[in-house]
Amino acid sequence: MFNTIFPKIHKEGYKFLAISILITFVVLFFSKFLGSILILITVWVYYFFRDPERYSIDNDDYLVSPADGLITDVSERSGPEELRLENITFTKVSIFMNVFDCHVNRSPLGGTIEEIYYKPGKFLNASLDKASEENERNYFKIKSSQDNEEIIIVQIAGLIARRIVCDVEQGQELKQGSRVGMIRFGSRVDLYFKNKKVLAKLGQSVTAGESLIASK
């Protein structure tokens, strides 16, 4: 119960929380009204960086969601040019995370990270389709430990986001639902896959590591 109300936070949040607490205490000495507002902001900072435990289905016949948020696109698209996959057609599912969603991203299946590629870019609204090509982003190519199928996760920074955090490295083995990183302050995650039936629906709210996106 305690961990549900007060989940642990991602390591990226420690400095932001410390700064917010310090500023709040200082301002409270001068203005209770402004201090009260900063208390609410501090609470929001804590919950933005929350990193709760998630419980995956532990079955690689399924892909679980890599992010919390709202599904904004389900379509057939060419693979990312950055990973030399532009001539291959994938199913792409886009998940938009607003500033109230948990921003820790997770692996949709168990497997090995074959490639990680970071590309600097702009900070357009992450809900826009062109954000996939113009915004700051980070690519993960993961090979399934079950059938060697490859999936792609793309972390896309948003209008407010200014840093993508990667918590894994090339060659690392992942379990389904393992943490791979986070994006600070509003963003999107795209998931590319082949040869699977889409279970997720446009407009559906999903939970990272738990909600089912696709199946064999």
pLDDT digits (tens, 9 = 90+) for 173-208: 999 999 999 887 668 899 999 999 999 999 999 999
**Residue-level pLDDT at 77:** 93
- Which of 40-49, 116-125, 174-183: highest mean pLDDT? 174-183
**Residue-level pLDDT at 116:** 96
What is the mean pLDDT of the segment spanning 100-126?
A: 87
Q: Which of 23-32, 118-127, 206-215 has the lowest mean pLDDT?
A: 118-127
pLDDT in tens, 76-107: 999 999 999 999 999 999 999 888 888 899 99
Q: Spell out where 1-160 has E strands.
A: 62-64, 69-78, 89-97, 104-106, 111-119, 137-144, 150-157
**Residue-level pLDDT at 127:** 61
Question: Global pTM?
Answer: 0.86
Determine which one of 20, 187, 205, 215 is catalytic. Answer: 187
- In whole angstroms, give the CA distance from residue 157 to residue 206: 19
78 catalytic? Reply is: no
* pLDDT of residue 1 exceeding 60: no
Query: CATH for 62-215?
Result: 2.70.70.10
pLDDT in tens, 2-37: 556 667 877 877 888 898 899 998 998 888 888 889
- Of the CA atoms within 13 Å of residue 137, those in its CB half-sphere come to 24
Cβ count within 10 A of residue 28: 15
Burial class (CB in 10 A: 0-12, 13-18, 19+), 212: middle
Parts of the chain belonging to CATH 2.70.70.10: 62-215
* pLDDT of residue 113 exceeding 90: yes
The set of residues, in sequence order, having a beta carbon less than 8 Å from that of 178 and lying 6+ positions away, is: 106, 107, 168
Tokens of 131: 């954000």
The set of residues, in sequence order, having a beta carbon less than 8 Å from that of 158 and lying 6+ positions away, is: 97, 123, 124, 125, 126, 127, 131, 135, 183, 185, 186, 187, 188
